[in-house]
Amino acid sequence: MKLHFKTILLITILAYLPVKFMASGNPLIWHLFAADPSAHVWPSDTNTLWIYASTDMPGTNHHATMHDYHVYSTTDMINWTDHGRALSVDDVDWAVGYAWAIDAVYWNEKYYLIYCMIERKTGIFRTGVAESDLPQGPFNDLGFIAGVEWGQDPALFVDDDGQAYLFWGLNGTCKAAKLANDLLSIIPGTVVDLTDQLFEVFEGPWVHKYKGKYYLSYPGLPDGTWPEEMYYAIADHPLGPYTSLGKYIREFEGHGSTNHGSITKFKDNWIAFYHSAWVSGGNGHERNLMADFLYYNADGTIQPIIPTAEGITDGIQTTATILLEAENGNAAGGKLDGTYVSTQTPDYSARGYVTGFDVRHDNVQVLAQVNDYMDARLTIRLEAEDDFAADILVGAKMLAQWEGLPMKKTKGWQEIDLGIVQLRKGDNIIRFSTHNAEVKIDYFKLEPVMPVKK
């Protein structure tokens, strides 16, 4: 009997899950610990949903180890793409760490990541802004927003009139303000403290609009005790005043200690995004992304959500592909060493491709991050005018010896299947070099096949 690739993937993943959480539609992403999902549908492509999320380091026991942000996309909520590292503490000169919750916005024909990190100089949380021409990034840091101190867990809401509002909160507080057009400063005199209006608020605000009302959702502490549960409040104006209406996600099995989420409409369905600790078996520092349908009552209140393994996919197992653009280089944790980015040959994806393999060890490197040892099918999209030899390093293993891996010339751009490779827990550098060949590298693709025990 021959098993289909996705069937093998499903059987293997389920074998590694705690019995209670043998999921189908939830969790959304399996190969990487992720939290604090900020979900968006951009006007340029209403058929695609994007999630901007923080990343938990495997094996950690504290959120101080959070270092990177990733971007995920889907058109059907079943098949996902992990676009790799979009921004890191390494890319932000003013920050020392604590890459916690984020948001994103399409603004003046560009995409902006609104994030938080601890400022090295003062030791306080700042709300940073980073820019990209593409929704998946990578993003270039522009600095932090003036007028916001302790700007943890930022969320940005743009109203129908085009005015942008920033919300932030931590340690039992929540504030909001109007943002200037450059997104880098608060409009003086507009800061509002919403704390007393939000029952048991702790952190992580998010605002969406439904039938003319503004809904502010947030993680709160019931009676001041952990774990967090998800609450919401309603107002007639983004800056309030808000009326608290209770909880929409209570504590659930495999919850972990925190929760954080967003509410977004996608293909005529309202969806609540949040996180749990199902993949890690309950470790609240190794979280994963979740989603369930959200329903409103006739009076505008939200029906309580009970997290389900089925999620919103009708029991179909979610899968994810890691897609790493070669030209992103240092901005995404990789490197261009002796090579360069070009756009002369058409039909490349994203921003361009990498070429210039003039010397034996000229190379391009990309970064693949995973939460456990696993096997994946490696594919490289390239163009080559002649047969050539290549040296390809994946993590700690070389796919070819010194004589190089024989590679055939292509007819234009082609995806070359290099078979199954092993990824180790954490960071995996994939390095490609040739033996002085005219080659163009567009992207690297990794399709998880099965986890591999240490």
pLDDT in tens, 232-243: 999 999 999 999
**Taking phi first (over 0 means left), then psi (-120 to 50 degrees means alpha), and beta for anything else, what does residue 350 get?**
left
Structure tokens that stand for 291 in this block = 């989603």
Does the pLDDT at position 315 exceed 90?
Answer: no
Confidence of residue 2 (pLDDT cuts 50, 70, 90): very low
Mean pLDDT of the region 213-233: 97
Mean pLDDT of the region 138-148: 97
Q: Please, how many CA atoms are within 13 Å of residue 312, restricted to the half-sphere of its CB?
A: 20
Tens digit of each residue's pLDDT (9 = 90 or more) over 157-181: 999 999 999 999 999 999 999 999 9
The residue type found at 91 is D
Does the pLDDT at position 53 exceed 70?
Answer: yes
Does the pLDDT at position 366 exceed 70?
Answer: yes
The pLDDT of residue 436 is: 87
Tens digit of each residue's pLDDT (9 = 90 or more) over 389-423: 999 999 988 887 667 899 999 999 999 999 999 99
Contact partners, residue 105, CB within 8 Å, separation at least 6: 40, 111, 112, 114, 156, 158, 164, 183
Does the pLDDT at position 20 exceed 70?
Answer: no
Looking at every residue in the chain, the average pLDDT score rounds to 93
The pLDDT of residue 60 is: 87
Task: Give yes or no for a contact between 138 and 131, defined as CB atoms under 8 angstroms apart.
Answer: no
Task: Point out the least confidently predicted range of 193-197, 287-291, 362-366, 397-401.
Answer: 397-401
Task: Give yes or no for a contact between 53 and 35, defined as CB atoms under 8 angstroms apart.
Answer: yes
Tens digit of each residue's pLDDT (9 = 90 or more) over 100-127: 999 999 999 999 999 999 999 999 999 9
Task: Point out the least confidently predicted range of 35-49, 336-350, 399-413.
Answer: 399-413
What is the model's pTM?
Answer: 0.94
> Does residue 187 or residue 13 have the better pLDDT?
187
The pLDDT of residue 403 is: 76
The pLDDT of residue 400 is: 75
Domains and CATH numbers, the chain: 5-317 (2.115.10.20), 326-448 (2.60.120.260)
State what percent of residues in the chain have pLDDT above 90: 88
The pLDDT of residue 19 is: 36
Task: Give yes or no for a contact between 192 and 240, defined as CB atoms under 8 angstroms apart.
Answer: yes
The pLDDT of residue 8 is: 38
State what percent of residues in the chain have pLDDT above 70: 93
| First-residue to last-residue Cα distance in the chain | 29
Task: Point out the least confidently predicted range of 186-200, 281-295, 390-404.
Answer: 390-404
Confidence of residue 85 (pLDDT cuts 50, 70, 90): very high
Confidence of residue 450 (pLDDT cuts 50, 70, 90): low
